[in-house]
Amino acid sequence: MIKAIAVDMDGTFLDSSSNYDRKRFDGIFQQLQENEIKFIVASGNQYAQLTSFFKGKEDNIYFVAENGAIIYDSPKLETIDSFPNEFVQKAVDYLIHSIDKAAFILCGLHSAYILKSADNDFKKLAKHYYHQLKEVEHFDSLPDDTFVKFALNVEVNQTSHIVYQLNQAFQGEMQAVSSGHGSIDMIIPGVNKGNGLNILLDRWNISAHELLAFGDSNNDLEMLALTEHSYAMETCSPEVQKTAKHRAPSNDESGVLQIIESYLN
């Protein structure tokens, strides 16, 4: 019996227009509440951005944000894992001087931070995904915050090479993972969506195999590996296709909602 559902957002729950069938979800969510099935949003994105998709429901949804570094039993912050400031400064310097044409966002608990000198197209993209975003002149001194992730945007054909380069440069201190379409997340080793979900499942005394999970990119691998009820979206990375036990229809066909309805019925 399914007791919890975890969904990635971009490329999974959301369609190509960054939307979803809200009326259809309203009916599903009501059934989930009636059956005491936990609904978890597990994303690499910022908590403030994720809650904006579920106005009026956020207090009954759990959020594993920033790839598992921040967990909310909304609106209460449950757990946070962060990088040491010394590492953050070292990584910032490396990104600026050693990664050609890499635009990046430094992600904190209270806000995300981007250089004022960043390309306007990248700023526009950043504002879409980070509802709490501040521009800074430089990173010579770090903002007063707790830092949980770096988000990079690189040339799509350079993604695998740069992921490898970063993992070689910061082995043991940081893990770089592709989140699709030229996006790379630099995350805390051992801190991922799967780890975040395990914290919640242990708290609720729910088995991993009572979890239904959906994803499409490599930052979903640990989450999908948890359960036999794991679904790779129709469009997904080869690694996700190999890890997940099942396939779901396209995110543009409300694939996640289709599968949830089949379990509820």
CATH of the domain at 215: 3.40.50.1000
pLDDT tens column, 49-59: 999 999 999 99
Question: What percentage of the chain exceeds 70 in pLDDT?
Answer: 100
What average pLDDT does the segment 108-121 reach? Answer: 95
Six token digits for residue 235: 């469009």
Q: Are residues 58 and 147 in the same domain?
A: no
What average pLDDT does the segment 99-106 reach? Answer: 86
Q: Are residues 40 and 90 in the same domain?
A: no
81 is known as an active-site residue: no
Q: Are residues 179 and 195 in the same domain?
A: no
Instruction: For residue 75, say if its preceding peptide bond is cis, omega within 30 degrees of 0.
Output: yes
Q: Are residues 168 and 214 in the same domain?
A: no
CB of 12 within 8 A of CB of 234? no
Q: Are residues 34 and 128 in the same domain?
A: no
Q: Are residues 125 and 215 in the same domain?
A: no
From 8, 81, 145, 216, the catalytic residue: 8
Q: Are residues 140 and 227 in the same domain?
A: no
Residues in the chain: 265
Q: What was the pLDDT predicted at 109?
A: 96
Q: Are residues 146 and 220 in the same domain?
A: no
Q: Are residues 141 and 112 in the same domain?
A: yes
Q: Which domain holds residue 155?
A: 85-187
What average pLDDT does the segment 241-258 reach? Answer: 98
Six token digits for residue 159: 């993604």
Q: Are residues 202 and 159 in the same domain?
A: no
pTM above 0.75, yes or no: yes
Domain final residue pick, 187, 215, 232: 187
Domain count, the chain: 2
What average pLDDT does the segment 246-259 reach? Answer: 98
Find the CATH number of the domain harbouring 119: 3.30.1240.10
Q: Are residues 101 and 169 in the same domain?
A: yes
The span from the CA of 112 to the CA of 133, in Å, is: 5
Instruction: Evaluate if residue 99 carries a pLDDT over 90.
Output: no
3-state secondary structure of 162: helix
Domain final residue pick, 161, 187, 213: 187
Domain final residue pick, 187, 210, 228: 187
Non-local CB neighbours of 42 within 8 Å, separated by 6+ positions: 6, 7, 8, 64, 68, 193, 196, 197, 213, 215, 220, 223
The span from the CA of 4 to the CA of 1, in Å, is: 9
What's at 265, amino acid-wise? N
Q: Which of 80-94, 97-111, 193-207 has the lowest mean pLDDT?
A: 97-111
Q: What was the pLDDT predicted at 74?
A: 84
Q: Are residues 196 and 183 in the same domain?
A: no
Sequence-ordered alpha helix ranges (H) in the chain: 22-34, 47-51, 85-98, 120-129, 159-169, 193-204, 221-225, 238-243, 255-264
pLDDT tens column, 130-165: 999 999 999 999 999 999 999 998 888 889 999 999
Instruction: Evaluate if residue 101 carries a pLDDT over 80.
Output: no
Opening angle at CA 149, ends 146 and 155, nearest 5 = 150
